[in-house]
Structure 1
Amino acid sequence: MSSYQTPASESPASRSVFGAPCWVSLSTYDLRAAEDFYHAVLGWEWHTGEMGDQYRFASVHGVPVAGVSAAKSIGQTSVAWTPFFAASSANETVARSQERGGTTAVGPISFPPGRAALLADRDGAVFGIWEGALVAGWEEWRRAAPAFVALHTRNAFDAAIFYAEVLGWASGAPEACDVQYEDEEVVLRSKGEIVARIHSGAVESAPDPAIRPRWQVHFSVTDVEACAQAAIAHGGKILSGADGSSEAVLSDPDGARFAVNSDWQAP
Structure 2
Amino acid sequence: MRSAHGPVTAVRGAPCWVSLMTHDLEAAQKFYSAVLGWRFRPASLGEEFCVAIAGGEPVAGIGALAQNFQVSVAWTSYFAVENADDIAGRIRERGATVAVGPLKLGPGRAALAADRDGAAFGFWEGQTMAWSVGRGNAPACLELRTRDAFAAAIFYAEVFDWASGEPGGCDVTYEHDQVIVRDGTHTVATLRGGGVEAAPDPRVRPRWHVHFPVGDVEKVAADAVAAGGTVTPVTPTEAGGSQAVVRDPDGGFFTITSPR
| TM-score, normalised relative to structure 2 | 0.88
**Count of matched residue positions in the alignment of Structure 1 and Structure 2:** 248
Partner of 2:84: 90
Q: Is structure 2 residue 252 aligned with structure 1 residue 259?
A: no
SS at match of 1:226: helix
Q: CA deviation at 1:245?
A: 5.7
Of 216, 219, 227, which residue of structure 2 is paired with 1:226? 219
Partner of 2:145: 152
Q: CA deviation at 1:52?
A: 1.9
Partner of 1:105: 99
Q: Is structure 2 residue 22 aligned with structure 1 residue 28?
A: yes
Alpha-carbon displacement from aligned partner over 1:177-204 (angstroms, at most 9, x marks no partner): 1111111111111132111111112535
- Unmatched 5+ stretches in structure 1: 1-11
What's the C-alpha RMSD, in Å, of the aligned pairs? 2.3
Structure 1 residues 233 and 22 mapped into 2: Cα distance closer, same or farther (>3 Å)?
same
Segment drifting more, 125-134 vs 55-64: 55-64
Alpha-carbon displacement from aligned partner over 1:60-103 (angstroms, at most 9, x marks no partner): 13322211112335724321100001111111111111111111
In structure 1, what is the Cα distance between the partners aligned to 2:172 and 2:68? 31
In structure 1, what is the Cα distance between the partners aligned to 2:195 and 2:164? 30
Residue pairs, 1:1-267, within 5 angstroms: 13-14=8-9, 16-72=10-66, 75-134=69-128, 136-139=129-132, 142-203=135-196, 210-241=203-234, 246-263=242-259
In structure 2, what is the Cα distance between the partners aligned to 1:73 and 1:47? 23
In structure 2, what is the Cα distance between the partners aligned to 1:74 and 1:21? 26
Partner of 1:5: none
Tell me, yes or no, if the aligned pair for 1:224 and 1:242 is still in contact at 8 Å.
no
Structure 1 residues 194 and 74 mapped into 2: Cα distance closer, same or farther (>3 Å)?
farther
Structure with the bigger percentage of helix: 1
Amino acid at match of 1:158: A
Alpha-carbon displacement from aligned partner over 1:99-155 (angstroms, at most 9, x marks no partner): 111111011111121110001111111000011110x21359831221111111111
| TM-score, normalised relative to structure 1 | 0.86
- Unmatched 5+ stretches in structure 2: 1-6
Residue identity (%) = 52
Tell me, yes or no, if the aligned pair for 1:240 and 1:250 is still in contact at 8 Å.
no
